[in-house]
Structure 1
Amino acid sequence: MTVSDVTKILEELCPLHYAEDFDNVGLLVGNSKAVVSGILVTLDTLENVVDEAIEKKCNLIISFHPIIFKGLKKITGRDYVERVVIKAIANNIAIYSMHTALDNSPEGVNAKICEVLEIKNPKILIPKKNSIKKLTTHVPNDKADFLRTKLFDAQAGTIGNYSNCSFNTEGVGSFKPNATSNPTIGQAGKLHYEKETQIQITFSSVYERSILNALFKNHPYEEVAYEIITLENANQNLGMGMVGFIENEMKENDFLNYLKLKMNAKVVRHSSLLNKTIKSVAVLGGSGAFGIEAAIEANADIYITSDIKYHEFYKADNKIVIADIGHFETEQFTKNLLVDYLTKKIPNFAVTLSESITNPIKYF
């Protein structure tokens, strides 16, 4: 099994298209064609993690956070990033990261938090924008059913809980093949009119390549006329954070104690308590100040995230309890998620959970 084989399996869980534009995801160090001897899964790739990979004979590190986030103009070992890259290259160790691709995945970071906290019926808190597209094409009437089926098979036409969705309009198309053409219908040099069906079909942007392949492979025309536009609709099945319910509501103090216990949090920084019970819970792993308004709009009783600044706690505005449990603490179970996933996908292969401590924050 090669590095590329493993990353393809990971991208079934969280395609890299899911990542935010600012992020740096994918294979960051190493050769995609290298044969994998073992996989080490970690939250962060630090020098001690590379040392652990060497000791455990793992030549592929799956890291949630990317070790390379900004461009490197020099690699001289002057900081921890450069030292990690140098050591990994020197020992033929590849490093792969998925970061916000896994954040946005419906089975990713926030789904794992919901699992740990036993949050029921979780839904996406901040649906991802610009991730739904629409394909429009025209096909002879007698070929429309066949082409639609092939597009559906390529994952087009799925909207929420519905599949095989499309809109179809019949009309008449015209075209005149030139002398070098090889038309399926009509003759070179003659204007032709054909009764056609206009097919309009929406799809998640992650499937664009496979849908276009299906279109070109199964459309009868030599030249396929088509249009793809990005819709304003937010993708309800993809995005940052989740919100759901706990089975038995709790008093605020009881829930904070429950939160500390379940998430192994040393401390919880929180906004003013509201003397209400906790039932609806919103979560967002990592730095989540940008999700406060969304949690309030979702009518959550508490919002669990990290890296909240002093003035950002004011945004609670006596409408919600904001609970900051720490960046590492919100994401710590991500590596367990990845190990479980890879172990199921490639059983009898060396997939190891890193034991290295990578949390840079200590508590007194």
Structure 2
Amino acid sequence: MKLVELTNYLESLAPLSSQESYDNSGLIVGDPQMELTGALVSLDCIESIVDEAIEKKCNLVIAHHPILFKGLKRLNGSDYVQRTILKAIKNDIALYAIHTNLDNFRFGVNAEIGKRIGLENIQVLAPKKDVLTKLVVFVPDEYVENVMSALFEAGAGSIGNYGECSFSTSGTGTFLPMEGSDPFIGQKGERENSLETKIEVLVSKHRLNAVVRAMKEVHPYEEVAYEAYPILNENNFEGAGMIGMLSEPMATKDFLKHLKSTFNCGIIRHTELVGDTVQRVAYCGGAGSFLLKNAISQEADIFITGDYKYHEFFDADKQIIIADIGHYESEQYTSNLLEGILMEKFPKFAVHLTGVNTNPINYF
């Protein structure tokens, strides 16, 4: 299997366009056309991970965190970033990162965290806006089913937990075939009146080009009349953080013990325990302090994340419990998530889960 086949599949789930502006997800080192011998999956990509890939005869490392966030002016091995990249290049090992695009994926990093906590009815905490497009296409009546099927198969028409959503209206279209045209119906120089159906569907921006291509392949007209324009609606399947419910309230201290055990935390830093029980849980893997207002506005009992700064803890303001379980700890199961995704899609491909703990933080 070529590297590009694997990365195309991952990016069909978590498109690169969904990553945050500061991020560097995607193929960082390697030839997209290289044949793969195996993949090593880890949270971070550092020298010891590349060493492990060499040992396990994997020529691809898939990490959640990119080894490279910004441009390098030289590669002389003077720091761990340069040494990691140089070692990968020397050993013909590709480095791929799937970071905030996987964070923003409905079934990505935060869905895995929610599963580990044991939450139900999980929803995106801060859905993204400006990521949807309304696609409108005009189709002769006898080709409506073909075009509609092509739209749905290419990924159009999803609204929340519902698929194949559309709206259709009937009308009459007119056109005048000019010199150089090859009309499907009608004659050159004569205005044609055609019974047509206007089909409207929602499409995620990252799927728009593929959906339009699929539509044009089955549409009978030489020149297809269609429109695409942005929609302001939130996409509830894409965004930062998540919120869900425990099946029943749990004593707050018991819940903190549950977190500590589940995520193998060396310590949990938390604000005042303002409630005796916890049931509504908001959370974000990694560094999620920017989502505290969302958690409070949605009446969460507790907000779980990592990398909280001293003064940010005051923002709880007795309205919610903030629990900082650690950046690594919150995202450690991302490797298991990616391993499962790849093994389900490519069951005959060698996927290895790292045995290296890359957490740079130790607890005394």
Q: Return the alpha-carbon distance in structure 2 between the equivalents of residues 334 and 163 of structure 1.
A: 27
**1:69 Cα deviation after fit:** 1.1
Stretch deviating more after TM superposition (3-12 or 248-257): 3-12
Residue 299 of structure 2 is matched in structure 1 by 299
**1:195 Cα deviation after fit:** 3.0
CA contact (8 A) 2:263 2:330 kept: yes
* Identical pairs, percent: 48
**1:348 Cα deviation after fit:** 4.1
Q: Return the alpha-carbon distance in structure 2 between the equivalents of residues 72 and 174 of structure 1.
A: 57
Residue 334 of structure 1 is matched in structure 2 by 334
**1:34 Cα deviation after fit:** 1.2
Map residues 1-364 of structure 1 onto 2, 5 A cutoff.
1-364=1-364
Q: Per the alignment, do residues 164 and 40 of structure 1 end up closer, same or farther by CA in structure 2, a change over 3 Å counting?
A: closer
Stretch deviating more after TM superposition (178-187 or 189-198): 189-198
Q: Return the alpha-carbon distance in structure 2 between the equivalents of residues 127 and 188 of structure 1.
A: 50
**1:12 Cα deviation after fit:** 4.5
**1:232 Cα deviation after fit:** 0.7
Q: Return the alpha-carbon distance in structure 2 between the equivalents of residues 200 and 275 of structure 1.
A: 47
Q: Return the alpha-carbon distance in structure 2 between the equivalents of residues 170 and 134 of structure 1.
A: 18
Task: For 2:331, give the aligned amino acid.
Answer: E
Stretch deviating more after TM superposition (8-17 or 294-303): 8-17
**1:173 Cα deviation after fit:** 2.5
Alpha-carbon deviations, 1:288-345, whole Å to 9, x = none?
A: 0111111112211101001122222222121110111111111111111112222233
Q: Return the alpha-carbon distance in structure 1 between the equivalents of residues 200 and 190 of structure 2.
A: 29
Aligned-residue CA RMSD in angstroms?
A: 1.7
**1:214 Cα deviation after fit:** 1.8
Look up the SS of the partner of 2:78 in the other structure.
Answer: coil
Alpha-carbon deviations, 1:272-302, whole Å to 9, x = none?
A: 2113310111110011011111111221110
Task: For 2:93, give the aligned amino acid.
Answer: I
Task: For 2:209, give the aligned amino acid.
Answer: R
Q: Return the alpha-carbon distance in structure 1 between the equivalents of residues 165 and 2 of structure 2.
A: 38
Q: Return the alpha-carbon distance in structure 1 between the equivalents of residues 113 and 351 of structure 2.
A: 22
**1:62 Cα deviation after fit:** 0.6
**1:96 Cα deviation after fit:** 0.7
Look up the SS of the partner of 2:237 in the other structure.
Answer: strand
**1:23 Cα deviation after fit:** 1.7
Alpha-carbon deviations, 1:189-230, whole Å to 9, x = none?
A: 333333322222112223223311221111121111211112
Q: Per the alignment, do residues 338 and 163 of structure 1 end up closer, same or farther by CA in structure 2, a change over 3 Å counting?
A: closer
Alpha-carbon deviations, 1:79-129, whole Å to 9, x = none?
A: 221211111101100011110111111221111111211112211111122
Task: For 1:264, give the aligned amino acid.
Answer: N
Moved over 4 A (4+): none
Task: For 2:63, give the aligned amino acid.
Answer: S
Q: Return the alpha-carbon distance in structure 2 between the equivalents of residues 48 and 335 of structure 1.
A: 16
Alpha-carbon deviations, 1:132-189, whole Å to 9, x = none?
A: 2110122223333432232223222221233332222333322222211111122223
Q: Return the alpha-carbon distance in structure 2 between the equivalents of residues 47 and 137 of structure 1.
A: 51
Task: For 1:153, give the aligned amino acid.
Answer: E
Q: Per the alignment, do residues 354 and 229 of structure 1 end up closer, same or farther by CA in structure 2, a change over 3 Å counting?
A: same
Task: For 1:146, give the aligned amino acid.
Answer: N
Q: Return the alpha-carbon distance in structure 2 between the equivalents of residues 301 and 72 of structure 1.
A: 43
Aligned residues: 364
CA contact (8 A) 2:131 2:205 kept: yes
Task: For 2:111, give the aligned amino acid.
Answer: A
Q: Per the alignment, do residues 13 and 167 of structure 1 end up closer, same or farther by CA in structure 2, a change over 3 Å counting?
A: closer
TM-score, normalisation: structure 1: 0.94
Task: For 2:320, give the aligned amino acid.
Answer: I
Stretch deviating more after TM superposition (104-113 or 346-355): 346-355
Task: For 2:223, give the aligned amino acid.
Answer: E
CA contact (8 A) 2:275 2:301 kept: no
Q: Return the alpha-carbon distance in structure 2 between the equivalents of residues 346 and 224 of structure 1.
A: 37
Task: For 2:51, give the aligned amino acid.
Answer: D
Look up the SS of the partner of 1:359 in the other structure.
Answer: coil
Unaligned runs of 5+ in 2: none
